[in-house]
């Protein structure tokens, strides 16, 4: 039962919410928010979210972009948010294969975004959603005018060297392929003082309150199977070439994804890169000191792309914002 201040906002009351059937019959929940009528229309943004997230978490960002003339298209990935879970323990973050995420996205695009025929289409993705978006852009290169990946999962920060971790993952996968990796656990309400996602106490507390009041959104650690597929996906992405004009942003103090992998990806593909020094992982929900440079970049990249023609040519020299 979704009964909390976030879901009662006018934004969600006017939104189109529903579900469709994804790969292997999994129910995928989605949301469509139309642009505010009193501002110039700027096209559609498809928002591909990160691990453990629901589109409900993004209401401050959705409201911000809706008021600037964008339609917003969002969905909850399989195994998290409001979408169908894949294991008996619904807290275990699990997927059979990362290509299932991409297939669900392709269905959402085909059945909901394409019929609306927006004149401009933009893709905004965060963290795990950045990996899914990159795989999608490789498979469907002509679907979007421009894309922006925020803290994309192109590499993962691991607690030990990969050469040491991979044999342990392989052994644990044979023993409990659908269970947590060592140290994994069900959802925990981590206090703001101990969080490594954002400096913004208000947005962080809203996120935690939403998940406490809406328990079906809660998700714990990933399964060992998910971790192995995530690492394999990052290896694949290290060789992927993206034709769609692509802007990348990284958080300088990120402890979740591997910034070196992001820099290498940007340099190899000649993609412009924004580095926000001192920012934590969730750039889209960070304190304004860190989030505003990204929002400025987003508006310039999506609304005034011609201004970036010269910058694209020098993408190997990333922009840096210090605080």
- Note the pLDDT of residue 84: 98
- Note the pLDDT of residue 307: 41
Ranges 77-91, 110-124, 192-206, 296-310: which has the least confidence:
296-310
Whole-angstrom Cα distance, residue 176 to residue 50? 25
- Note the pLDDT of residue 181: 85
Is 80:51 a contact under the CB 8 Å cutoff? Answer: yes
Whole-angstrom Cα distance, residue 253 to residue 97? 29
For residue 43, is it within any domain?
Answer: yes
280 pLDDT tier (thresholds 50, 70, 90): very high
Residue 96's CB: how many other CB atoms inside 10 A?
Answer: 16
CATH code (residue 114): 3.40.50.1820
pTM for the model stands at 0.92
For residue 192, is it within any domain?
Answer: yes
Please say if the pLDDT value at position 127 is more than 50: yes
Whole-angstrom Cα distance, residue 83 to residue 30? 9
Please say if the pLDDT value at position 201 is more than 50: yes
Percent of the chain beyond pLDDT 90? 85
**Each residue's pLDDT tens digit, 67-115:** 999 999 999 999 999 999 999 999 999 999 999 999 999 999 999 999 9
For residue 95, is it within any domain?
Answer: yes
**Which tokens hold the place of 209?**
């309150």
Please say if the pLDDT value at position 184 is more than 50: yes
For residue 3, is it within any domain?
Answer: no
Ranges 4-13, 17-26, 53-62, 167-176: which has the least confidence:
4-13
Whole-angstrom Cα distance, residue 200 to residue 192? 9
Of 250, 284, 251, 279, residue with least CA distance to 61: 284
- Note the pLDDT of residue 305: 60
For residues 23-46, average pLDDT: 96
Ranges 171-175, 241-245, 249-253: which has the least confidence:
171-175
* Secondary structure letter of residue 35 according to DSSP: P
Give the total number of structural domains in the chain.
1
For residue 204, is it within any domain?
Answer: yes
For residue 80, is it within any domain?
Answer: yes
Please say if the pLDDT value at position 323 is more than 90: no
Range of the domain at 135: 10-321
240 pLDDT tier (thresholds 50, 70, 90): very high
For residue 4, is it within any domain?
Answer: no
Whole-angstrom Cα distance, residue 22 to residue 66? 27
For residue 239, is it within any domain?
Answer: yes
Of 197, 224, 221, 192, residue with least CA distance to 209: 192
54 pLDDT tier (thresholds 50, 70, 90): very high
- Note the pLDDT of residue 85: 98
Please say if the pLDDT value at position 2 is more than 80: no
Which residue is listed with tokens 């059979």? 96
Which residue is listed with tokens 């101990």? 194
- Cα dist from 272 to 36, 137, 317, whole Å: 30, 17, 8
Average pLDDT in the chain: 91
Whole-angstrom Cα distance, residue 138 to residue 130? 12
């Amino acid at each position: 039962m979704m009964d909390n201040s976030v879901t009662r906002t006018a934004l969600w009351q006017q939104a189109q919410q529903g579900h469709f059937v994804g790969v292997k019959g999994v129910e995928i929940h989605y949301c469509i928010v139309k642009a505010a009528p009193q501002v110039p229309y700027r096209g559609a943004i498809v928002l591909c979210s990160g691990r453990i997230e629901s589109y409900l978490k993004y209401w401050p960002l959705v409201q911000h972009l809706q008021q600037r003339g964008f339609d917003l298209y969002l969905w909850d990935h399989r195994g998290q948010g409001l979408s169908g879970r894949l294991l008996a323990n619904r807290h275990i973050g699990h997927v059979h294969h990362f290509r299932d995420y991409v297939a669900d996205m392709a269905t959402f695009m085909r059945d909901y975004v394409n019929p609306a025929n927006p004149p401009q289409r933009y893709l905004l993705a965060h963290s795990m959603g950045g990996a899914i978006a990159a795989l999608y852009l490789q498979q469907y290169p002509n679907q979007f005018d421009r894309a922006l990946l925020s803290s994309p999962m192109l590499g993962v920060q691991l607690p030990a060297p990969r050469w040491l971790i991979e044999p342990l993952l392989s052994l644990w996968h044979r023993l409990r392929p659908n269970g947590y990796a060592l140290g994994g656990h069900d959802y925990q309400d981590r206090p703001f003082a101990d969080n490594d996602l954002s400096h913004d106490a208000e947005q962080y507390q809203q996120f935690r309150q939403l998940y406490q009041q809406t328990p079906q959104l809660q998700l714990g650690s990933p399964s060992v199977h998910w971790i192995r597929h995530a690492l394999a996906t990052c290896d694949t992405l290290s060789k992927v070439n993206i034709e769609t004009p692509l802007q990348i942003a990284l958080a300088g103090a990120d402890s979740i994804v591997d910034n070196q992998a992001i820099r290498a990806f940007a340099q190899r593909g000649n993609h412009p890169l924004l580095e926000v020094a001192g920012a934590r992982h969730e750039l889209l929900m960070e304190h304004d000191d860190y989030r505003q440079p990204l929002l400025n970049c987003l508006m310039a990249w999506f609304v005034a792309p011609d201004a970036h023609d010269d910058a694209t040519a020098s993408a190997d020299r990333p922009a840096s914002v210090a605080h």
